[in-house]
A and B are shown apart, each in its own frame.
Chain A
Amino acid sequence: MSENADLMPGTLDLLVLQAVSLGELHGYGVLLRIEQISGGALAIQQGTLYPALYRLEHQGLIESRWGTSDNNRRAKFYSITAAGRRRRGEEVAGWNRLVAAMSAALAAQPEEV
């Protein structure tokens, strides 16, 4: 059984918001950050990150600026906006509720029903 978990639909945006909320990053950096904070458990096809980044920027949840990366190349850096922080908070709360509900459901014993 693989130790990597596939992303559930809709969770990539939340992961991106989480990664970016911890500090300004370029696209590749976001990828690495997600790997890091998930302990390497979450597998993301790299190219799919960018549609998510652009979508979140289009919605005003993250913003970008051009800067210089550590390999001295021009790179686009993303940071979270106030609206993004609010959305992240809402999504985390929702996720936690879902996890709690799933945990309770999965822990149910025959004698409890």
Chain B
Amino acid sequence: MLRVLLDGLVARVRSYGRALRHPSKVESDMAEEFHHHLELRTRDLVEGGLSREEAARRARLDFGHIATHREEALASRGLTFLDQLRFSRLDVKLGLRMLAKYPGLSLVSVIGMTVAIAVAAGAFVVADTMLNSTVPLPEGERLVALQNLDIEEGEDDPHAVHDFVQWREELRSVEDLTAFATESRNLVMPDGGTDLVAVARITASGFRVARVPPLLGRPLVDADDRPGAEPVVVIGYDEWQRRFDGDPGVIGRQLRLGTVAHTIVGVMPEDYRFPVNHAFWIPLELEPTRYERGTGPAISMFGRLASGVTLDQARAELATLGSRASAAWPDTHANLRAEVLPYTQPFSGINTPAARLNFHAIRLAVGLLLVLVAVNVSILVYARTATRLGEIAIRTALGASRRRVVLQLFVEAVMLSGLAAVLGIAITGFALGRLNTLMTGPSEPFWIEYRLTAQVVLYVIGLALLAGVIVGVLPALKVTGRHVQARLQQITARGSEIQLGRTWTAMIVLQVAIAVAVLPYAVYTAAASLQHGTAPEAFPADEIVRAFVSVEGGDAGSEETRLIGATRELLNRLEAETDIAGVTVTRGFPGYERSARLEVEDGTTISIQYNDFGVDLLPLFGVGMLAGRGFEPADAGEGSTAVIIDETLARAMGGSLETVLGRRVRLAAENIDDTQPPWLEVIGVVPNFTTTEGVDPDPDPLMYRPLALEHAMTGSGSVQIIARLHARADAPMAGRFRQIAASIDPTLQVTDTRTAASIRQEARQVHRYLGIGLSAVTLSVLLLSAAGIYAMMSFTVARRRREIGIRAALGAGARQVLTGIFARAAAQLGAGVLAGLAVALLLNQLAGGMLSSRLLVLLPTVAAIIMTVGLLAALGPARKGLAVQPTEALRGD
């Protein structure tokens, strides 16, 4: 039985294959075979005494209807099905003709789908790269990162020196466990100048994990990690070329990093930047006895899975070690969970299952955007397809099956979506190129590069086909449905007509509702992003310079005194520079405040942003007082309670700018058990000086506290300083700042020296791109909605042209007729607007009232635009209907 089935299956597959490969040959062979049969039959009849002509005629009669037998023969080979699915160049030609015949529809559809496909493809690439990238090293997929996840904080606890040493000894499933930390060092050039570089302090095992031999010399070895070993350094290829001109005798030369002269022992090959994006590698000496468990320098750990070991096995082994640690040292390890992850995961920020899920959800949501757009386009196409019923009826009468008609319409739709896919991919490629140039820097992993891959192209092809199905097949199935085919039999002189019932009305209402519900948010977000991205600065951003000051190596606790002293000296020296008007310190750069809840003495609580900065900052930024006084030196002293608030906060506290002076406020305690912070007194009110007026219609209330240099060091061991220049600097200040700092203390580092304009630029660039992207999406949705509504309304009224003509013929006045038409149109549009308003208000509630005030303006505006478009659409066909001669209207019923 099985053999019979198999034999049959093989024969069928072979038969289909032949038919697919040589479809025209199958038909020509059949024709030849029939012809041969008729010849032989004719010959026999002639031999039987008939004349040639009579014999030929009898032969044909005896054979029967050739076309029918041909169709049956094809059907018996299962080829009719294939024949109906096959499309030819003619279908493509017809499709192109349709695109050209309705240029407006084609343009709108292609624009809408292009934007959606570009967004979906971009999201796919970003998500795929973040989730699935591996390090480009030999067997890179077997590299793993190890971390102690603090379950309460939801973050990695990097102070894991003790754990590292223990795991290195005890773990069997992970080989060559390595620890590293990235540090900034002043690279001292031969001419005395300094350059700040990122250095990887790494245990020698890191090079064994990478399995990449150096180009010159040797990598770090275990002996280099031992206490008292000679300081050595391995450098990267680009650094070797740039700083040493590619000198093959570079091995053995000295390189000064800070106060230490390192001997160059090796040069790594080009493109080697492991573990993150490094070009300098120095030994990491770890002595756990120097630190208490849970303290010590912050390190990252990685290794390679042992041969034959899976990630799950490594996880299980480390989990066991982690549990033992939690039991043995509950004070430090009770909340820690030891984890093994694929190496690249911690860098993508997707190192928990929840984060992975979020990412997939975002990717899905972005894909759904295309579905939304395609549905919109399919509504447009349905409107157009319904006008082609006469053509479809004729094709059906001539023998085209429903499948054939649907296939034709699918091909047309795929041409639209195919064009959109090509354009969308091009836009995505361009955007990804821009994204790559934005993402350069020492903390950007070197293996992350967003580019178009074969997978993305396949994904886009899939999207185009899906769009083709939604845009082409669904409307076609609706239009060629059984109930419609029954009515197709009543073709009149004017062509047959489809009944527009509840479905049509529902589609108009849905189209309008979506537009009204979604557009206000899209418009608001796009406008806000663009504004943020393009508005001029609130203060002279080119004259304000910000830098971070820190001391090299060591940890914050032991170096605070040295840092404060050195920073004080640095500030004095900078003040003495002729082009610097003044310097001060700050906790956060203005515009990047921290959130908190503020308690007012009358019991109210307000969500605010706050910052601490030196008493000179407001004058340096040119900010005048609206009420009260500014900070004085005494305000930064111990026990001071002076605070300055901005006018937004003053208004939020009620009363005028004057009446808030002297009122008491305090930051709310973070936890119930914490002691209450002290009451502070409002001494002055300033305008909001961090954002340009009008850019943020709903700015956060702001509060400022005075900051003394002694308390200015942050948790990361640095002090943020701000300098105001007399005029815009001709050259970057970074070099000068570093030079002055180095002359005070060679280990004093000045990093990330930038003008305020440069700081803002990155964020503004992101806002700009986001704004442009959102605007493109919003415009395309608006375009599609308007086109859809226009098409449907005009089609609806055009269908009633004869009715209009008849009514006019029967004596109805123009006004009466038009009122009837517009009343119906307005009712449909109005229902859609009401539905859209309800959804918009619901969305606003869900978003926490984000848009409440703006909705009052945006919603009516969008509703008015949609109603206008819809009614205008009804106007043209209505007037055409009125122009129809009554006799013409009455004829042909």
A71–B43 touching, CB < 8 Å: yes
Question: A46 within 8 Å of B by Cβ?
Answer: yes
In Å, the complex CA distance between A3 and B537 comes to: 107
B36–A55 touching, CB < 8 Å: no
A46–B64 touching, CB < 8 Å: yes
Partner of A27, one of B4, B8, B33: B33
Q: Nearest-CB distance from B516 to chain A (Å)? A: 57
What residues of chain A lie closer than 8 Å to B12, measured between beta carbons? 58-60
Q: Nearest-CB distance from B38 to chain A (Å)? A: 9
What residues of chain A lie closer than 8 Å to B11, measured between beta carbons? 57-60, 83
Q: Nearest-CB distance from B1 to chain A (Å)? A: 11
What residues of chain B lie closer than 8 Å to A110, measured between beta carbons? none
Nearest chain A residue, comparing its CB with the CB of B19:
A58
B43–A46 touching, CB < 8 Å: no
Interface bits A52-88 vs B (CB < 8 Å: 1, else 0): 1011011110000000010101111000000100110
In Å, the complex CA distance between A76 and B34 comes to: 10
What residues of chain B lie closer than 8 Å to A47, measured between beta carbons? 34, 63-66, 68-69
B69–A50 touching, CB < 8 Å: yes
Segment at the interface with A among B72-80, B262-270, B342-350, B587-595:
B72-80
Nearest chain A residue, comparing its CB with the CB of B9:
A60
Q: Which residues 405-444 of B have a CB within 8 angstroms of A?
A: none
Q: Given A58-B15, A59-B12, A60-B7, are A46 and B37 neighbors across the interface (CB < 8 Å)?
A: yes
A83–B76 touching, CB < 8 Å: no
What residues of chain A lie closer than 8 Å to B8, measured between beta carbons? 59-60, 83
**Which of B29, B40, B74 lies at the interface centre, i.e. has the most chain A CB atoms within 10 A of its CB?**
B40
In Å, the complex CA distance between A86 and B74 comes to: 25
Q: Nearest-CB distance from A45 to chain B (Å)? A: 5
B4–A83 touching, CB < 8 Å: yes
In Å, the complex CA distance between A60 and B12 comes to: 7
Partner of B76, one of A31, A55, A75: A55
In Å, the complex CA distance between A76 and B36 comes to: 9
Interface size on A, residues (CB 8 A): 26
A46–B78 touching, CB < 8 Å: no
In Å, the complex CA distance between A26 and B73 comes to: 16
Partner of A28, one of B7, B37, B72: B37
What residues of chain A lie closer than 8 Å to B64, measured between beta carbons? 45-48
Question: B62 within 8 Å of A by Cβ?
Answer: yes
What residues of chain A lie closer than 8 Å to B77, measured between beta carbons? 54-55, 57-58
What residues of chain B lie closer than 8 Å to A74, measured between beta carbons? 32, 36
In Å, the complex CA distance between A57 and B69 comes to: 16
In Å, the complex CA distance between A105 and B33 comes to: 44
Question: B664 within 8 Å of A by Cβ?
Answer: no
A69–B33 touching, CB < 8 Å: no
What residues of chain A lie closer than 8 Å to B384, measured between beta carbons? none
Q: Which residues 640-656 of B have a CB within 8 angstroms of A?
A: none
In Å, the complex CA distance between A52 and B15 comes to: 15
Question: B10 within 8 Å of A by Cβ?
Answer: yes
In Å, the complex CA distance between A55 and B8 comes to: 11
How many interface contacts (CB-CB < 8 Å) are there between A and B? 83
Q: Which residues 135-175 of B have a CB within 8 angstroms of A?
A: none
What residues of chain B lie closer than 8 Å to A9, measured between beta carbons? none
Partner of A73, one of B30, B39, B41, B68: B39
Q: Nearest-CB distance from B71 to chain A (Å)? A: 9
Nearest chain B residue, comparing its CB with the CB of A55:
B76
Q: Which residues 759-794 of B have a CB within 8 angstroms of A?
A: none
In Å, the complex CA distance between A74 and B64 comes to: 22
In Å, the complex CA distance between A27 and B74 comes to: 16
Question: A39 within 8 Å of B by Cβ?
Answer: no
Nearest chain A residue, comparing its CB with the CB of B16:
A58
In Å, the complex CA distance between A58 and B7 comes to: 11
Q: Nearest-CB distance from A66 to chain B (Å)? A: 8
What residues of chain A lie closer than 8 Å to B41, measured between beta carbons? 28, 46
In Å, the complex CA distance between A73 and B72 comes to: 25
A69–B78 touching, CB < 8 Å: no
What residues of chain A lie closer than 8 Å to B37, measured between beta carbons? 27-28, 31, 46, 50
A46–B33 touching, CB < 8 Å: no
A51–B76 touching, CB < 8 Å: yes
What residues of chain A lie closer than 8 Å to B30, measured between beta carbons? 50
A75–B36 touching, CB < 8 Å: yes
A51–B72 touching, CB < 8 Å: yes
In Å, the complex CA distance between A12 and B18 comes to: 25
A71–B39 touching, CB < 8 Å: yes
Q: Given A46-B41, A48-B69, A76-B29, are A60 and B36 neighbors across the interface (CB < 8 Å)?
A: no
In Å, the complex CA distance between A58 and B703 comes to: 85
**Which of B29, B34, B72, B78 lies at the interface centre, i.e. has the most chain A CB atoms within 10 A of its CB?**
B72
In Å, the complex CA distance between A48 and B70 comes to: 10
Interface bits A20-41 vs B (CB < 8 Å: 1, else 0): 0000001110010000000000
B29–A50 touching, CB < 8 Å: no
Interface bits B14-46 vs A (CB < 8 Å: 1, else 0): 010000000000000110111011011101000
**Which of B37, B41, B74 lies at the interface centre, i.e. has the most chain A CB atoms within 10 A of its CB?**
B37
Q: Given A28-B37, A86-B4, are A58 and B66 neighbors across the interface (CB < 8 Å)?
A: no
Nearest chain B residue, comparing its CB with the CB of A84:
B7
In Å, the complex CA distance between A87 and B5 comes to: 12
What residues of chain A lie closer than 8 Å to B10, measured between beta carbons? 60
What residues of chain A lie closer than 8 Å to B34, measured between beta carbons? 47, 50
A26–B36 touching, CB < 8 Å: yes
Q: Nearest-CB distance from B8 to chain A (Å)? A: 6
Nearest chain A residue, comparing its CB with the CB of B59:
A46
Top 4 closest pairs, chain A to chain B, by CB: A60-B11, A47-B64, A47-B69, A55-B76
Chain A residues within CB distance 8 Å of chain B: 26-28, 31, 45-48, 50-52, 54-55, 57-60, 69, 71, 73-76, 83, 86-87
Pairs A–B under 8 Å by Cβ, sample size 24: A26-B33, A27-B33, A27-B37, A28-B36, A45-B64, A46-B41, A47-B66, A47-B69, A48-B64, A50-B69, A51-B69, A51-B72, A51-B75, A57-B11, A58-B11, A58-B12, A58-B77, A60-B11, A69-B36, A71-B39, A71-B40, A73-B36, A76-B29, A76-B36
Given contacts A47-B65, A48-B72, A55-B76, 11 further A-B contacts (CB under 8 A): A45-B62, A47-B63, A47-B64, A50-B33, A50-B37, A50-B73, A51-B75, A59-B8, A60-B10, A76-B36, A83-B7
